Structure 1
Amino acid sequence: MGTTTVTTATEVVLPGKVEVAGLQIRTRTLPAPAAGQVVLSMDATGVSFAEQQMRLGKYFSQPPFPFVPGYDVVGTVTTTGPDVDPALAGRRFAAVTKVGSWASAQVLAAADLVAVPDGVSAAAAETVAVNGVTAWQMLHRNTTVRAGGTIVVLGANGGVGSTLAQLARHAGITVLGTASPRHHAALRELGVTPVDYHDPQMYRKLRELAPDGVDAVFDHVGGAGVADSWRLLRRGGTLVSYGTAASKDTEGNSQLPVLRLFARLALWNLLPNGKSARFYNFWAGKRRLNTFRARLREDLTQVLRLVESGVLRPQIAAEFPLSDAGAALALAESRTVAGKVVIVADPGRP
């Protein structure tokens, strides 16, 4: 395919701590890609828990307002800069950006692009861009759970949780997953044993299902309940904490819940019980940029191959056009959906 020059971009802007109706739309001129850069035209992006926290100013390392949110993107290269293979134009890639992807187009480093197989749709690839890497790395790089083991996935109906559950089942691991009862049938279809996360006896029921303890717990909630997650582990088990959802709607310093969690995990690692606790940080190791990029490319490529082969079933909760990003964010925040809310290009985009 030839190169199509994209000179402007429509962007969704988060101007400050606003309700979802307060998102703004703007159009700006894109700079020409510099050496090593491309222009990527968005085919699909999505709503992660990070954007929900950012709207409230509670994401641990978010930029100052105003900014364009959007943690990841799948798109088509339209323009290549100097020192970039022009054959990239017309091809589809995924990238993890942290911010900036709620836009019809953006300038990115070509080194951050990961090729999407032809047989995988943009929306399907979007569901595993950040969620798939997160799930893969937590399961295969942060733990050593083997086939025949048992894990607990809190929020197993969510974007990360549903992907993690499928990866674990593919590896021969038993999965106990928490979710609202409305999602239990879908979890059973994925091979997950569901437990109602609204039930005040949730942890007791998890213990009854695994009386000897579990090999790993994946906890995105944090807060006081993380201690109960720790107690579910057998000797040699691993707690992987990767969020503080419990503090999303609380007032106060957004960094304190994270810092308290870090301190608690560090303390537990000093205990002589054979268990370990880790905090998963997607961006860990980025100071060694080439190594970080190589690891991300390797892991996302593995996940995309599983999508292409049908082993991993993308969990798409709903699709919204970019101009209706506020409705997409509202649905994601409703906590009623299974999978990931996806944002796609507006109809009629050049």
Structure 2
Amino acid sequence: MEVAMNNTDSTDNTADSLVEVVLPGKVEPEGLEVRHGAVPVTGPGQVVIRMEATGVSFAEQQMRRGKYYDQPLFPFVPGYDLVGTVLTIGAGVEPGLVGTRVAALVKVGAWASHVRVDAADVVPVPEGISAAEAETVVVNGITAWQMLHRKARVRAGDTILVHGANGGVGTVLVQLAHAAGVRVIGTASPRHHDTLRDQGVEPVDYRAPDLAAQVRALAPRGVDAVFDHVGGPGIIQSWHLLAPGGTLVAYGSASTRDDEGSKQLPVLKLLGRVWTWNALPNGRHAYFFNVWAGRALSKNRFRAQLRADLTQVFAALQRGEVHARIAAQLPLTRVADAVRLAESGTVAGKVVLTP
């Protein structure tokens, strides 16, 4: 049974209409459909967020190719995360949430002007941080923080290797690592090397045939952690670049983005390697990290860690330890342009979508 809604401005709310982007199947970016409809109605324990910023992450790039491991059946609304203002609430929700700016991790559904979520899934955004700035560190920031501090457990003085150091997750990962007193070696295209140097990263060309030798020259004993979103055969090289006691965190399979065939197989191969390496008596560790995976195991624990860790990331943003890297900001109706840009490999940071 739906309940009466609380709201801050009934005149504005009745004027609202839903705008959402639908992924109808395996399509080019121009095949994404912009649709209009009614604003969602809250149920008990739910809120409706008026979206102020969402973004294009690697997950959506894979989803439009039908390549994301556990994506829904077509058609659906993509969008892994969003930032916005709580518009309406359902029964049992704290009334003070209305009018509050919050962030939410939803996996799908965020490419819409209004998004309904459980109130327990929202995280307040501190004053002084804009919606677009906050958006750059929601899925990217929570991924980076949890990989660094919950999986690799980095310490001051460590040396790490970040593949794709100019990307959405990579840029946040680099900054959080530096805030923890960690030295960073980062792979990227040469056109991004000057930017990486300005950020205190020691850059290496990700296409260099002697990439491993270059990393070894910078870290002769190996690195304390590798963060690898590429997957594929290169993951073996990442493993062998670890120092004794080091940790490999694989968090994607970008090398298979344009491949045909099973969307599950690349992930299953990665998991197989991780399990095998962890069974070896070598003192090293390997993980395949997916920020959403823990939700299925324990929703309450997932929510508690999300709130705690994202609050830490927002605090780092407020302190200036992390800077919002907005590659571009485009309206939701220009989603095709936004996806093209995000997939071009020419930008650093996050492509943000606004209403």
- Structure 2-normalised TM-score? 0.95
Runs of 4+ in 1 over 4 A off after TM superposition: none
The yes-or-no answer on 1:332 pairing with 2:351 is no
Q: Deviations over 1:160-203 (max 9, x none)?
A: 01101111111111000001111112111221111111212212
CA distance in 2, matches of 1:75, 1:314: 17
The root-mean-square deviation of aligned C-alpha atoms, in Å, is 1.1
8 Å CA contact 2:107, 2:292 repeated in 1: no
Write out aligned runs for 1:1-350 (5 A).
2-4=8-10, 5=13, 8-286=17-295, 287-345=297-355
Deviates more, 1:83-92 or 1:11-20: 83-92
What amino acid maps onto 2:112 in structure 1? A
Q: 3-state SS of the aligned residue for 2:151?
A: coil
What amino acid maps onto 2:8 in structure 1? G
Aligned-pair CA distance for 1:106: 1.4
CA distance in 1, matches of 2:285, 2:190: 31
8 Å CA contact 1:3, 1:79 repeated in 2: no
CA distance in 2, matches of 1:15, 1:227: 36
Aligned-pair CA distance for 1:213: 0.5
Aligned-pair CA distance for 1:250: 0.7
8 Å CA contact 2:40, 2:115 repeated in 1: no
CA distance in 2, matches of 1:112, 1:3: 24
2:3 is aligned to none
Q: Deviations over 1:241-297 (max 9, x none)?
A: 001111111111111111011111111112221111111121232132111101100
CA distance in 1, matches of 2:288, 2:218: 25
How many pairs align?
345
Aligned-pair CA distance for 1:3: 4.1
CA distance in 2, matches of 1:252, 1:259: 13
Q: 3-state SS of the aligned residue for 2:322?
A: coil
Aligned-pair CA distance for 1:152: 0.1
CA distance in 2, matches of 1:145, 1:273: 19
8 Å CA contact 2:56, 2:351 repeated in 1: yes
1:348 is aligned to none
How high is the sequence identity, in percent, across the aligned residues? 59
Structure 2 residue ranges without an equivalent (≥5): 1-6
Q: Deviations over 1:3-31 (max 9, x none)?
A: 44365310001100000110001012133
